[in-house]
Structure 1
Amino acid sequence: MSIERAIMAFAGFMVLLSTILTVWINDNFIWLTIFVGANLLQSAYTGFCPAAIIMRKLGLKSEAQLATANQK
């Protein structure tokens, strides 16, 4: 799995989790949903994503790196 796909999966999971927590636990979990959405928006414009940095350190590779590795 590439970093790009892992980011989409992680963001989707966090939105679903925070929505469930908002409905069943406490209304203040809506702030987690807002934070995830704001982070996705800013990363689309700036290219900076803290989750991508962590995933890179965990050994995930980008789509470009995977494509280059498959060509060899």
Structure 2
Amino acid sequence: MTLDKAILAFAGLMVLLSVVLTVWVSPLFVWFTVFIGLNLLQSASTGLCPAAFVLRKLGFRPGPAF
């Protein structure tokens, strides 16, 4: 799996997790969803993604985006 696909899978998993936490734990977890969205926008505009640095260290091979 390339780094690009791993980032997309990780982002999708985090969005689903934040929705589950918002519904079943506390409505305040909606701020987690907001944080994820802001991180995705920042990554799209700058090309820098904190998760990409971590996943690259874990051995994922780079793709065209990262």
What's the TM-score once normalised by structure 1's chain length?
0.85
> Mind listing any 5+ residue stretches in structure 2 that lack a counterpart?
none
Residue matched to 1:10: 10
Aligned length: 64
Q: Give the 4+ runs in structure 1 shifted more than 4 A.
A: none
| 1:62 CA drift (Å) | 1.2
Counterpart in the other structure of 2:63:
63
Cα offsets for 1:16-66 (capped at 9, x unmatched): 0100100010011111111111000110010110000000000111125xx
The 5 A counterparts of 1:41-60 are 41-60=41-60
Q: Which has the larger radius of gyration?
A: 1
Percent identity, aligned pairs only, is: 58
Q: Which runs of 5+ in 1 are unaligned?
A: 65-72
SS at match of 2:48: coil
- Give the aligned CA root-mean-square deviation in angstroms: 0.8
SS at match of 1:63: coil
Determine the C-alpha separation between the residues in 2 that align with 1:25 and 1:54.
28
